[in-house]
Each structure stands twice: as C-alpha cells, then as structure tokens.
C-alpha cells in the first residue's frame, strides 16, 4: 500500500459522489473507488426526480427544506451544470379511482399533490391519453440530470484534491477488528476510515466479510430512448398509486430478513409503476419494473419486461408507441424504513456506511453536507439520530 487516506469512499453513484466531495471540502484526504466507467448503477438510470414535497416526518421536513434551498445553487457551487429545474409532477389516477381519493394518500406530505380533473391534467400534459385516466395529482417537483450531477460532484471533488480510482473493491483490509483499507483488483488502498456507498451491492459485499446489515435491493428495469427531438414532455409522469415503495416496505420487513440470505428467492411479487421522464438532453426514461430477487446477478426476461413497460406507457402516453429504446437493468438499494443507513459499524472499527436510499435525490445533498461537517468535528442535530437502533451500526457523537 502506498498513500493512506483519511477516507476511502466506495461507490460513485450520487451517494458516494456527494459524500466524497463534502468530505474533501471539510479538509479530508479522500479516495473515491468506483468499479464502472461509465457508471452502470441506479444513479445512471434514475429519473433524477427531486421529491422535496414528499417529506412526512420532522427529520425529512428539515432535509427537504434544506434541499429546496440548496439545489438551485448547487450547480454554481460545483462549477458545473447539474441540469436542475423545477417541473410539474403528474401523478396519474386510474379510471377505477378518483383524484380526490387518490390525494388522501399524500395528505401528510410537506406539500401535498393537488387533484386535477382529466381536462386539467391534459392541459398540463397534452400528450396524455384522457381515456386512460380519471384525473391526476400535481405538485412542483425538482429534476436533475443524474449523470451530470455525479460528474459535477466528481469534478468539484478532484479540483479540491480528491482522487478517483476505477477499480472493483474485492474485500476489506483488517488489523485485528479494525478496518485499515480495501483490497481491489488493482491493488490495496489504506485509509483511516472506509465508507461504503455501494448501493444495491452493499449487502453482498458485507456478507463476504461476515457483516450483517438490514439493507436490501430491488432489480429495477427501464427503457431508455436516444435523444428524441420530436417528443417533448412537459411533465414527469408517474402513477398516483406508486407500488415501488409498498414493495420495499413489504420486502424490507425485518421478519423476512433471513430470506434475503437465501440465493434464488423472490421475496415479494414484482411491480410495474408506469412512468416516464424526459431528461434535459431529450432522452426519455420509461419504466419501471421492480423485483425483489435475492440474487444480485439474477437473470431477468428482458423481452417480457420491455413489452409490459411499453404497453403500460403507450396506454398513458400514446405518442410514445414504438419509440426507439433499449431495456436496462440496475440494482436500487433500500433500507426497509425509508431512512438512509448512515454511521459506523459496531463490530468493525473504521468501517462506515452511507447508503440504503430509495428516493435519495430529495435529501442527499444536505445530508451529505451535514454528515461530512459532523464527522469532521461540527455539531449536527440530524446525523447522530440516524444510527441508533439500526442493527449492525453504532451510535457516535
């Protein structure tokens, strides 16, 4: 091993990219290790929606309010465009429901989406099929270009001395119970602290080390189109009755935890949330199927999924019939209680986690900022509250 860093951050999705930058900004020497260039994880295929309206607890209220203030300035601070804008989110209501009833589900949100008639929904999004809905809900939603956001964080990180290494972390270096670095396919790297931001692969990485964590993942599938000049969506479209979070809540039930250690299981049936987003450059991401399969490398019937996603979106937005596009797949991490897993591990000194987000864009930039300030000596009222009572993690001051 050559140089020893204050921190090694593993994983360069939006989580690792933001936290590595914030640590470096607080004067830490940081090595960020990512196995893929270009990226292939959840961030690469995300819609990049910033649901800062969706907070439901005092903790998420605070973080979403921080995000609302931070996002418009973030690109300027990082010195690169992150593709941020505020758009109308359109949550479609199926004909067997009515918008008033559908809106009840969101009443305790910081800024609850408002019901619209079919006509109002179609005025907001002229490409909608009025016969496919009974109306919609709408709220102002942030949107970023997820790949641009990672690139912006990375460039700002490197400009203040952060280093990036493309390598696959294969294990942890130890001296007794203390973690002293990582092994990779490119050699070993030493650090005072190793922080895992490895998304859906965190559980299997830790399993190899004999460390248990209640973090799970879905296999997410979507279709990405090339840049389409002849289609212009005005809104980000999702179903009002989103199934993904229900699937995560069910599959993350602590009683099912041991099932996740059995390869080849499907914890709960798959879901399809019919939605579409247009990125600032004109590409569409159409989705999304989520599956709770315990094997991160499980084989999936791509043709069948693609057909179901296409049928779903063509019904809601007929203009998208036969758009060119390619099926993609990635893993999306979640924690079971919708809160991030942040903190040091109790059994392995020097090993930390900053992961487990299912809807991270709404809270991540301020959370990464608070985390880095706190671990470098600042006070924070939120960060220390996130570790206690989470199996495997320990409280810290």
Ligand X SMILES: Cc1cc2nc3c(=O)[nH]c(=O)nc-3n(C[C@H](O)[C@H](O)[C@H](O)COP(=O)(O)OP(=O)(O)OC[C@H]3O[C@@H](n4cnc5c(N)ncnc54)[C@H](O)[C@@H]3O)c2cc1C
Applying CB under 6 A, the residues found at the interface with ligand X are: 10-16, 33-36, 39, 41-43, 45-49, 168-169, 197-201, 205, 220, 222, 285, 287-288, 330, 332-333, 355, 357-362
Question: Which CB atom, from 38 or from 264, has the smaller least distance to ligand X?
Answer: 38
Cβ at position 18, least distance to ligand X in Å:
8
**Residue in the shown chain whose Cβ atom is closest to ligand X:** 13
Question: Which CB atom, from 134 or from 247, has the smaller least distance to ligand X?
Answer: 247
Q: How far is CA 35 from CA 11, 28, 97, 179, in A?
A: 7, 22, 45, 20
How far is residue 289's CA from residue 269's CA, in Å, rounded to a whole number? Answer: 11
Cβ at position 321, least distance to ligand X in Å:
20
Burial pattern 69-94, b for ≥16 Cβ within 10 A else e, equals eebeebbeebebebbbeebbbbbbbb
Cβ at position 340, least distance to ligand X in Å:
9
239's CB contacts (< 8 A; 6+ apart) are 91, 92, 94, 273, 274, 275
Question: Token pair of 192, please?
Answer: 């005072």
Cβ at position 106, least distance to ligand X in Å:
16
Cβ at position 377, least distance to ligand X in Å:
25
The radius of gyration of the chain's CA atoms, rounded to the nearest angstrom, is 21
Question: Which CB atom, from 11 or from 312, has the smaller least distance to ligand X?
Answer: 11
Helix, coil or strand: residue 179? strand
Looking only at the bridges linking them, the beta strands covering 4-10 and 30-34 are parallel
Cβ at position 119, least distance to ligand X in Å:
27
Question: Which CB atom, from 48 or from 135, has the smaller least distance to ligand X?
Answer: 48
Question: Which CB atom, from 118 or from 205, has the smaller least distance to ligand X?
Answer: 205
List beta partners, residue 330: 220
Question: Which CB atom, from 19 or from 121, has the smaller least distance to ligand X?
Answer: 19
List beta partners, residue 386: none
List beta partners, residue 266: 293
């Amino acid at each position: 091993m050559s140089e020893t860093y204050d921190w090694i951050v593993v994983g360069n999705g939006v989580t690792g990219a933001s936290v590595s930058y914030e640590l470096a900004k607080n004067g830490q020497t940081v090595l960020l290790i990512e196995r893929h260039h270009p990226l292939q994880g959840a961030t690469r295929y995300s819609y990049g929606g910033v649901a800062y309206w969706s907070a439901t607890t005092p903790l998420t209220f605070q973080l979403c309010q921080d995000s609302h203030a931070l996002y418009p300035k973030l690109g300027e601070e990082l010195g690169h465009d992150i593709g941020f804008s505020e758009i109308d989110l359109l949550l479609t209501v199926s004909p067997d429901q009515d918008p008033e009833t559908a809106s009840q589900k969101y009443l305790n949100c910081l800024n609850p989406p408002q019901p619209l008639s079919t006509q109002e929904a179609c005025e907001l999004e002229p490409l909608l099929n009025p016969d496919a809905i009974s109306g919609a809900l709408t709220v102002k939603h942030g949107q970023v270009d997820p790949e641009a956001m990672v690139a912006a964080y990375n460039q700002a990180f490197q400009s203040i001395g952060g280093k990036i290494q493309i390598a696959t972390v294969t294990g942890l270096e130890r001296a007794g119970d203390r973690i002293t670095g990582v092994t990779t396919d490119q050699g070993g790297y030493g650090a005072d602290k190793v922080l895992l931001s490895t998304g859906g692969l965190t559980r299997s990485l830790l399993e190899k080390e004999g460390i248990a964590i209640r973090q799970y993942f879905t296999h997410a599938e979507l279709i990405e189109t090339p840049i389409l000049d002849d289609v212009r969506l005005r809104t980000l479209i999702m179903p009002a009755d989103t199934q993904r979070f229900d699937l995560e809540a069910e599959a993350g039930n602590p009683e099912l935890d041991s099932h996740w250690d059995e390869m080849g299981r499907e914890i709960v049936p798959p879901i399809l949330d019919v939605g579409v987003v247009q990125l600032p450059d004109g590409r569409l991401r159409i989705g999304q199927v989520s599956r709770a399969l315990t094997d991160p490398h499980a084989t999936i019937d791509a043709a069948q999924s693609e057909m179901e996603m296409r049928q779903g979106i063509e019904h809601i937005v007929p203009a998208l019939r036969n758009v060119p596009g390619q099926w993609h797949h990635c893993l999306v991490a979640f924690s079971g209680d919708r809160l991030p897993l942040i903190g040091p591990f109790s059994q392995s000194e020097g090993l930390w986690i900053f992961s487990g987000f299912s809807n991270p864009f709404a809270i991540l930039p301020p959370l990464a900022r608070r985390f880095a300030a706190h671990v470098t000596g600042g006070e924070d009222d939120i960060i220390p509250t996130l570790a206690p009572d989470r199996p495997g993690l320990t409280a810290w001051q």
